[in-house]
């Protein structure tokens, strides 16, 4: 095989720190080191599996491998809940995460086989080029949790970071594991791979090209409604999604299983960056589901609770607003992070997201004093443009605010409550800060289009294409 024609990436094993109380027992290659409880499935593993189709293209020497949509040979090791986040620079990385039913298996090495979408055949079982340089490996951890019936079950989470990617490029990938690939016989040995999925890397820092993201939050018991609407929402063609918390009622594992499955049309095509809401009662389970940036200047116990990244000319910050102590613990990092972004010539916009709204006129919850006291002054000082929140299941947009007063556009942050992603609706309200408000019975989400120094937010009802609000900010 002519490997000289391949585009070569160097893929190091992802250095994912063990999560506190997660029962980690893995080395850097994702192999069980013996500390976690494991299930021996080696007797179930078949010796080899011949791909559905594999051909060598005589035009360029690439080994193109085609596999079936359901490509699993070992009971319990079929990848599920496959989704993508970012832990590092969005322009050059993607982090792929998935689960297996079986507790962390002896010898299981999590792998992601990937290629640029332009190099692949079309269709969910289309051929992808295979070579070892197109494979990234990672790590994992196991934990115990309960099913709906209260029975104790074991889960394994696997995390693989793809690095060295080209900016703003579509990639196709399959996540899972296999023992080996026999190039001579074009044979995978015991593959357990996900269906084909796609994701795009992000814009380079300072790139002012157009891009789009979606801001949503508060689904609570709405998994069935998400399932009905997710295929339509996946067509929004967002580069990524932000989610401001309260995905489930209490956040037990069975709820996460339903939520991730309902969201799969969206998660199969776009990274999702979430923060914790107050209904993520089992907080450990929330952080098990999502591999997020680990900010080293935050206290160790809340790393992952606050995060930031820069995508093109926009700096994004996610925050945990759940407790007074947690808010205080993020203040110093938040102030330093936003101060740096505010003087960065590559950054035109700063956008923040958290669960409890600074300003909300809904009679259900309303404004959040700890956010007003701690974060609002930091937002105002450092030029935050828009702050997204949820908690109240309605839609509300404020006028720009500075010093507890309405100000002109561009003189203070705009606060947007977008808390109706198929959760039970709340009544909206009016206060001195309210520019637009809608009751939550229609549901809502916001599509944000960034075009250089223009930023447009369009809020839609959850059902159909009704526009609830639109506004544009310019620099």
Same domain for 50 and 186?
A: yes
Strands 467-474 and 454-460: antiparallel
What is the helix (H) or strand (E) element at residue 339, kind and residue range?
helix 324-342
Residue length of the chain: 475
Q: Are residues 254 and 316 in the same domain?
A: yes
Co-location of 321 and 438 in the same domain = yes
292, part of any domain? yes
Give yes or no for a contact between 364 and 329, defined as CB atoms under 8 angstroms apart.
Answer: no
Is 206 among the domain residues? no
pLDDT digits (tens, 9 = 90+) for 217-267: 999 999 999 999 999 999 999 999 999 999 999 999 999 999 999 999 999
**H-helix segments, 363-448:** 369-381
CA dihedral 377, 410, 243, 83 (to 10 degrees): -120
Tell whether 328 and 191 lie within a shared domain: no
Query: What's the rounded Cα separation, in Å, for the pair 82 and 157?
Result: 10
The range of the structural domain enclosing residue 266 comes to 211-474
In this structure, the dihedral spanned by the alpha carbons of residues 221, 223, 228 and 229, taken in order and rounded to 10 degrees, is 90
Task: Find the CATH number of the domain harbouring 157.
Answer: 2.60.40.10
pLDDT-above-90 percentage for the chain: 76
Q: Quick check: 313 and 346 in contact, CB under 8 A? A: yes
State the total domains in the chain.
2
H or E element: which one contains 350? strand 349-353
Compute the distance between CA of residue 204 and CA of residue 453 in angstroms, rounded to an integer.
Answer: 16
Q: Kindly state whether residues 442 and 300 are assigned to the same domain.
A: yes
The SS3 assignment for 49 reads: strand
At residue 9, the pLDDT reads 25
pLDDT value of position 292:
98
Residue 1 has pLDDT above 70, yes or no: no
CATH number at residue 223: 3.60.21.10
Whether residues 445 and 350 share a domain: the answer is yes
Query: Are 168 and 278 part of one and the same domain?
Result: no
Q: Which residue has the tokens 């259900």?
A: 364
Asked whether residue 177 falls in the same domain as residue 216, the answer is no
**Which range is least confidently modeled, 122-126, 168-172, 399-403, 459-463?**
122-126
Whether residue 426 is contained in a domain is answered as yes
Contacts of 12 (CB under 8 A, 6+ apart): 163
292 shares a domain with 190: no
Residue 194's CB is within 10 A of a number of other CB atoms, namely: 23
Whether residues 219 and 103 fall in one domain: no
Determine the 3-state secondary structure of 451 from DSSP: strand
For residue 102, the model assigns a pLDDT of 80
At residue 104, the pLDDT reads 62
Give the pLDDT confidence score for residue 153 in this predicted structure. Answer: 85
User: Is 207 a residue whose pLDDT tops 70?
Assistant: yes
Give per-residue pLDDT as tens, 371-381.
Answer: 999 999 999 99
Residue ending a domain, among 200, 231, 264, is 200
List, for residues 98-145, the tens digit of each pLDDT value. 999 887 677 899 999 999 999 999 887 789 999 889 999 999 999 999
Looking at the fold, whether 196 and 233 belong to one and the same domain comes out as no
User: Rounded to whole angstroms, how far apart are CA atoms 230 and 284?
Assistant: 26
pLDDT value of position 30:
34
Token couple for 364: 């259900």
Same domain, 159 and 65: yes
Measured over the CA atoms of residue 226, residue 350, residue 83 and residue 297, the dihedral's sign is negative
Contacts (Cβ under 8 Å, ≥6 apart) of 207: 91, 167, 168, 312, 313
Last residue of a domain, one of 200, 230, 248: 200
* Residue whose tokens read 């078949």: 46
> Does this model's pTM top 0.95?
no
On whether residue 400 sits in a domain, the answer given is yes
Boundary residue ending a domain (159, 176, 200)? 200
* Confidence tier at 61 by pLDDT (50, 70, 90): low
The helix (run of H) or strand (run of E) holding residue 226 is helix 223-234
Give the pLDDT band (50/70/90) at residue 60: low
Within-domain flag for 205:
no
């Amino acid at each position: 095989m002519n490997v000289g024609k391949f585009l070569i990436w160097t893929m190091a094993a992802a250095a994912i720190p063990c999560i506190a109380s997660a029962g980690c027992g893995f080395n850097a290659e994702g192999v069980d080191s013996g500390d976690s409880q494991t299930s021996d499935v080696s007797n179930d593993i078949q010796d080899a599996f011949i791909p559905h189709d594999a051909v060598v293209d005589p035009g360029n020497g690439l080994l193109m491998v085609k596999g079936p949509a359901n490509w699993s040979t070992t009971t319990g090791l079929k990848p599920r809940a496959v989704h993508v986040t970012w832990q590092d620079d969005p322009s050059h990385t993607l982090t792929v995460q998935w689960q297996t039913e079986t507790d962390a298996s002896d010898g299981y090495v999590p792998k992601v086989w990937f290629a640029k979408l332009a190099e692949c055949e079309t269709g969910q079982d289309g051929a992808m080029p295979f070579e070892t340089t197109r494979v990234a490996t990672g790590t994992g951890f196991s934990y115990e949790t309960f099913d709906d019936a209260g029975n104790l079950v074991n889960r394994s989470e696997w995390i693989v970071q793809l690095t060295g990617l080209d900016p703003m490029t579509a990639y196709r990938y399959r996540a899972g594991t296999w023992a080996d690939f026999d190039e001579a016989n074009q044979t995978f040995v015991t593959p357990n791979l996900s269906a084909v999925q796609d994701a795009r890397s992000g814009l380079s820092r300072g790139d002012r090209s157009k891009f789009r993201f979606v801001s949503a939050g508060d689904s609570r018991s709405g998994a069935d409604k998400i399932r009905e609407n997710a295929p339509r929402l996946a067509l929004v063609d967002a580069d990524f999604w932000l989610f401001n918390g309260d995905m489930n009622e209490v956040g037990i594992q069975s709820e996460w299983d339903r939520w991730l499955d309902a969201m799969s049309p969206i998660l199969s095509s776009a990274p999702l960056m979430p923060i914790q809401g107050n209904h993520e009662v089992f907080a450990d389970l929330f952080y098990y589901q999502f591999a997020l940036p680990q900010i080293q200047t935050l206290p160790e116990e809340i790393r992952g609770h606050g995060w930031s990244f820069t995508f093109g000319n926009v700096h994004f910050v996610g925050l945990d607003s759940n407790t007074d102590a947690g808010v205080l613990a993020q203040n110093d990092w938040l102030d330093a992070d936003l101060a740096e972004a505010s003087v960065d010539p590559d950054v035109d916009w700063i956008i923040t997201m958290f669960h409890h709204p600074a300003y909300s006129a809904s009679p259900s919850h309303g404004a959040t004093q700890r956010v007003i006291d701690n974060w609002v002054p930091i937002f105002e000082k450092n030029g935050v443009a828009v702050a997204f929140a949820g908690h109240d299941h309605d839609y509300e947009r404020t006028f720009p605010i500075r010093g507890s007063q309405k100000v002109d556009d561009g003189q203070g942050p705009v606060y947007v409550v977008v808390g109706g992603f198929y959760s039970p609706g709340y009544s909206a309200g009016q206060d001195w800060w309210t520019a637009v408000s809608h009751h939550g019975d229609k549901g809502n989400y916001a599509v944000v289009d960034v075009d250089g120094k223009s930023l447009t937010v369009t809020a839609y009802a959850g059902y159909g294409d009704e526009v609830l609000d639109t506004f544009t900010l310019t620099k």
